[in-house]
Structure 1
Amino acid sequence: MKKIFSVLLISATFLLPISSSVLANSATDKAKTMEMKMQKINLNTASLDELTTLPGIGEKKAMAIIEYREKYGKFTSLEQLAEVKGIGTKMLEKLQDKISI
């Protein structure tokens, strides 16, 4: 019985700091994700991953946004986003408060 208790105590000594670290990293990741959602995404500098965090923007539409800015240059107005294939005025209205130029 003493051996089992000793083994459990030693195991807990090593596992507790690891599990605390994992929980802390998980909380940090969630905080970063929330912060990213609260910040506006800049259409002129956003990466594919950043653009896909926008509601209704999947990888295909994110690629279209990047291709548009590569072809025509930087966005000069938010309304210009409606010119991107697959994004219309209704989508633009949903994104208005989540994007910037």
Structure 2
Amino acid sequence: MQKFIFVLSMFCITLLSCGGEIVEDFSQQSQKNRTIQAKNSENLIDLNSASISEIEKLPGIGEKLARRIVEHREKFGRFKRAEHVIVVKGMSDKKYRKISHLITAK
């Protein structure tokens, strides 16, 4: 019984001593992610102003889908949010997830 309590105590001490480092590492990683997102926001393709050829450069987007995105924008107006591109015929969830970090709707 004493051995069990000793092992449990050592486990708790180890866990508590590492806990601060884990939180610190997570905080640093979150800051890095925010910095990367800020840098990438300058390179995002704006669905409300991009040409067919610019949209076509996105992974998984061919000429037909790029043309449909521009036609949708011209017919129904600007995209209020980048996620709204999902309503365009041919844009699947999978394709959207592939490009979501590369597009914006300003």
Compute the displacement of 1:88 (Å).
1.6
Compute the displacement of 1:72 (Å).
0.7
Compute the displacement of 1:87 (Å).
0.1
SS in 1 for 2:61: coil
- In structure 2, C-alpha distance between the alignment counterparts of 1:40 and 1:52, rounded to whole Å: 13
Corresponding residue number in structure 2 for 1:43: 47
Corresponding residue number in structure 2 for 1:95: 99
Corresponding residue number in structure 2 for 1:81: 85
- In structure 2, C-alpha distance between the alignment counterparts of 1:89 and 1:76, rounded to whole Å: 18
- In structure 1, C-alpha distance between the alignment counterparts of 2:44 and 2:67, rounded to whole Å: 18
CA deviation profile, 1:40-67 (whole Å, cap 9, x unmatched): 1100000111011100111100000001
Structure 1 gap segments, 5+ residues each:
1-37
- In structure 2, C-alpha distance between the alignment counterparts of 1:85 and 1:65, rounded to whole Å: 8
Normalising by structure 1, report the TM-score: 0.60
SS in 1 for 2:90: coil
- Equivalent residue for 1:62, pick from 62, 66, 71: 66
Aligned-residue RMSD, C-alpha = 1.2
Normalising by structure 2, report the TM-score: 0.58
Structure 1 outlier segments of 4+, above 3 Å: none
SS in 2 for 1:56: coil
Identity of aligned residues (%): 44
- In structure 1, C-alpha distance between the alignment counterparts of 2:47 and 2:85, rounded to whole Å: 8
Corresponding residue number in structure 1 for 2:4: none
